[in-house]
């Protein structure tokens, strides 16, 4: 592997990455496939913070649309991210990657509280830090939580791993003529509502603090390694 372009990253993956062939929940095999990709870049001494969404278990916005109070629904989603974090911790440690789970909502029996300096020290010691429970506050997505943590931990880049190989001007699954961007500005990503990268809060936070976002396809084996090496894959938002 070429020398990594990025030495400390915040990797944001959706909860759907843990679904595998299931319609709901966590498939062990799929979780282990993600863990193996993470191990490949961990072996190159890349410092990794990991944020996992909860779409495989619970979505706060969807719950609120079905009659649950939005704040309550968001807290339920935060708890679901802790479940995913523990599943990923188990998968990583089974293949020899040392980890720590830190939660924005205190739960001493299963995770450390999020402490910025401690998280940085864990990464410096070669541990993958899995950050759970979003920001700890409702009305913020895990994308916003990932942007906040990436800035707090002084990461070189926020990597958003998705099902598609970058950012398009429209949905490539519905429009065969969709155009993929190699790079796109934060301003354009925020202004054009048809471009789905992250929510506006996350984009604005990264733009204001000059933190680039790389969007790429996690489900193509080897892509995470290529992304860290700086190979031209996905879309860079800068």
Structure confidence at residue 89 (pLDDT): 98
Q: How far is CA 211 from CA 49, 64, 114, 188, in A?
A: 15, 31, 21, 16
- Packing angle between helix 70-94 and helix 28-42, nearest 10 degrees? 70
Structure confidence at residue 170 (pLDDT): 82
Instruction: Give the pTM.
Output: 0.95
Is the residue at 221 inside a domain? yes
Structure confidence at residue 64 (pLDDT): 78
CATH number reported for the structural domain that contains residue 140 in this entry: 3.40.1160.10
Q: How far apart are the first and last CA of the chain?
A: 25
Q: Which two tokens stand for residue 7?
A: 């030495």
- The number of beta carbons lying within 10 Å of the beta carbon of residue 75 is 18
Structure confidence at residue 73 (pLDDT): 95
Is the residue at 176 inside a domain? yes
Structure confidence at residue 2 (pLDDT): 66
Structure confidence at residue 50 (pLDDT): 98
Is the residue at 64 inside a domain? yes
Structure confidence at residue 174 (pLDDT): 83
d(CA 194, CA 198): 11
48 neighbors 11 (Cβ within 8 angstroms): yes
d(CA 5, CA 33): 23
Structure confidence at residue 238 (pLDDT): 94
d(CA 78, CA 177): 37
Backbone angles phi, psi at 184, to 5 degrees: -150, 150
Is the residue at 1 inside a domain? no
- Domain containing 128 equals 8-237
- Secondary structure percentages of the chain, helix, strand, coil, to 5: 40, 20, 45
Can you give the pLDDT of all 238 residues of the chain as single tens digits? Answer: 568 899 999 999 999 999 999 999 999 999 999 999 999 999 999 999 999 999 999 987 888 788 999 999 999 999 999 999 999 999 999 999 999 999 999 999 999 999 999 999 999 999 999 999 999 999 999 999 999 999 999 999 999 999 889 999 888 878 888 899 999 999 999 998 778 789 999 999 999 999 999 999 999 989 999 999 999 999 999 9
Is the residue at 2 inside a domain? no
Q: Which residues pair with 215 in a beta bridge?
A: 160, 235
Q: How far is CA 180 from CA 2, 194, 225, in A?
A: 26, 13, 21
Is the residue at 3 inside a domain? no
Q: How far is CA 51 from CA 3, 88, 193, in A?
A: 24, 10, 24
Is the residue at 170 inside a domain? yes
Look at the chain and report how many structural domains it folds into. Answer: 1
Is the residue at 219 inside a domain? yes
């Amino acid at each position: 592997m070429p020398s990594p372009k990025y030495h400390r990253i915040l990797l944001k993956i959706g909860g759907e990455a843990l679904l595998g062939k299931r319609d709901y929940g966590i498939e062990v095999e799929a979780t282990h496939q993600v863990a193996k990709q993470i191990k490949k870049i961990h072996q190159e001494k890349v410092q990794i913070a990991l944020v996992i969404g909860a779409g495989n278990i619970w979505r706060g916005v969807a719950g609120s649309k079905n009659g649950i109070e939005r704040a309550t629904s968001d807290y339920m989603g935060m708890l679901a991210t802790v479940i995913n974090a523990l599943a990923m911790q188990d998968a990583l440690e089974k293949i020899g990657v040392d980890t720590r789970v830190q939660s924005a909502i205190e739960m001493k029996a299963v995770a450390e509280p999020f402490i910025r300096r401690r998280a940085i020290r864990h990464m410096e010691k070669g541990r993958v830090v899995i950050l759970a429970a979003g920001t700890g506050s409702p009305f913020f997505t895990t994308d916003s939580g990932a942007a906040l943590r990436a800035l707090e931990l002084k990461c070189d880049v926020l990597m958003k791993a998705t099902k598609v190989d970058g950012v398009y001007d429209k949905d490539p699954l519905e429009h065969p003529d969709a155009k993929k961007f190699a790079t796109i500005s934060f301003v354009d990503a925020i202004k054009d509502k048809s471009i789905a990268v992250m929510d506006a809060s996350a984009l604005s936070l990264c733009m204001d603090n000059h933190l680039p976002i790389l969007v790429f396809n996690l489900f193509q084996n080897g892509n995470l390694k290529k992304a860290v090496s700086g190979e031209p894959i996905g879309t860079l938002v800068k």
